[in-house]
Amino acid sequence: MSNFNVFKDFIKSLRFRLIILFILMGVIPGMVLWAGVLNSYEQRAVSIKTSEILGQAKILVNQIVSNDYLNNTDSVIISAELQQLSNIYDGKIMLIDSGFRVVKDTYDIDTGKIIISKEVIQSYKGTDITKYDPESRYIEIVTPLLKTNVATGEQAPIGVMMISVSTDSINLNMEYLGTNIFVIQMICGMLVIILAVWLSIHLTKPLKKMSLSIDEIETGYGTGKLIIHDYTETLEICEKFNSLLGRMKVLDESRQEFVSNVSHELKTPLTSMKVLADSINSMGDAPVELYKEFMADIGQEIDRETKIINDLLSLVKMDKSAADLNIVSLNINELLEQILKRLKPIAEKQQVELVFESFRPVIADVDEVKITLAFSNLIENAIKYNNPEGWVRVSLNADHQYMYLKVEDNGMGIPEADMDHIFERFYRVDKSHSREIGGTGLGLAITRSAILMHKGAVKVFSTEGEGTIFNVRIPLKYIV
Ligand X SMILES: Nc1ncnc2c1ncn2[C@@H]1O[C@H](COP(=O)(O)OP(=O)(O)OP(=O)(O)O)[C@@H](O)[C@H]1O
Query: Rule CB under 6 A: is residue 456 a binding residue for ligand X?
Result: no
Q: By CB neighbour count within 10 A (0-12 exposed, 13-18 middle, 19+ buried), where does 37 fall?
A: middle
Other Cβ atoms within 10 Å of 372 Cβ, number:
18
Sign of CA dihedral 90, 97, 142, 80: positive
Beta bridge partners of 114: 101
- Residue 159 or 411 with smaller CB distance to ligand X: 411
Range in contact with ligand X (rule: CB under 6 A) among 191-199, 211-219, 298-306, 381-389 = 381-389
Residues of this chain, 359-378, that bind Mg ion according to CB under 5 A: 377
- Residue 350 or 468 with smaller CB distance to ligand X: 468
Residue 427 to residue 445: CA distance in whole angstroms: 9
As measured in angstroms, the least distance from the Cβ of 4 to ligand X is 58
Question: Could you write out the three-class secondary structure of 171-219?
Answer: HHHHHHHHHHHHHHHHHHHHHHHHHHHHHHHHHHHHHHHHHHHHHHHHH
Query: Rule CB under 6 A: is residue 434 a binding residue for ligand X?
Result: yes
Query: Rule CB under 6 A: is residue 370 a binding residue for ligand X?
Result: no
Single residue of 64, 412, 472, 474 touching ligand X by CB under 6 A: 412
Give the total of residues touching Mg ion (CB under 5 A).
3
Interior/surface letters 404-431, b for 16+ CB within 10 angstroms, e for the rest? bbbbbbbbbbbeeeeeeebbbbbbbbee
Give the total of residues touching ligand X (CB under 6 A).
23
As measured in angstroms, the least distance from the Cβ of 468 to Mg ion is 12
Other Cβ atoms within 10 Å of 29 Cβ, number:
11
Between CA 351 and CA 409, with CA 393 as vertex, the angle to 5 degrees is 70
Query: Rule CB under 6 A: is residue 206 a binding residue for ligand X?
Result: no
- Residue 332 or 412 with smaller CB distance to ligand X: 412
Nearest CA among 65, 162, 53, 145 for reference residue 109:
162
Query: Rule CB under 6 A: is residue 422 a binding residue for ligand X?
Result: yes
Query: Rule CB under 6 A: is residue 411 a binding residue for ligand X?
Result: yes
- Residue 42 or 311 with smaller CB distance to ligand X: 311
- For residue 317, the number of C-alpha atoms closer than 13 Å in the C-beta half-sphere is 16
Nearest CA among 261, 309, 271, 313 for reference residue 426:
261
Single residue of 164, 167, 381, 410 touching Mg ion by CB under 5 A: 381
Query: Rule CB under 6 A: is residue 381 a binding residue for ligand X?
Result: yes
Phi then psi dihedrals of residue 41, to 5 deg:
-65, -45
- Residue 372 or 377 with smaller CB distance to Mg ion: 377
Residue 256 to residue 240: CA distance in whole angstroms: 24
Residues of this chain, 24-83, that bind Mg ion according to CB under 5 A: none
Range in contact with Mg ion (rule: CB under 5 A) among 166-174, 233-241, 408-416, 436-444 = 436-444
Query: Rule CB under 6 A: is residue 311 a binding residue for ligand X?
Result: yes
Query: From residue 116, how far is each of 54, 72, 240 by CA, in Å?
Result: 21, 22, 84
- Residue 347 or 429 with smaller CB distance to ligand X: 429
As measured in angstroms, the least distance from the Cβ of 440 to ligand X is 4
Query: Rule CB under 6 A: is residue 443 a binding residue for ligand X?
Result: yes
Query: Which residue sits closest to ligand X, CB atoms considered?
Result: 443
Query: Rule CB under 6 A: is residue 428 a binding residue for ligand X?
Result: yes
- Residue 200 or 468 with smaller CB distance to ligand X: 468
Query: Rule CB under 6 A: is residue 439 a binding residue for ligand X?
Result: yes
Nearest CA among 350, 384, 396 for reference residue 468:
384
The listed partner (ligand X, Mg ion, none) that binds 314, CB under 5 to 8 Å by sort, is none
Q: What are the residues binding ligand X (CB under 6 A)?
A: 311, 377, 381-382, 385, 409, 411-414, 422, 427-429, 434, 439-445, 468
Q: What are the residues binding Mg ion (CB under 5 A)?
A: 377, 381, 443
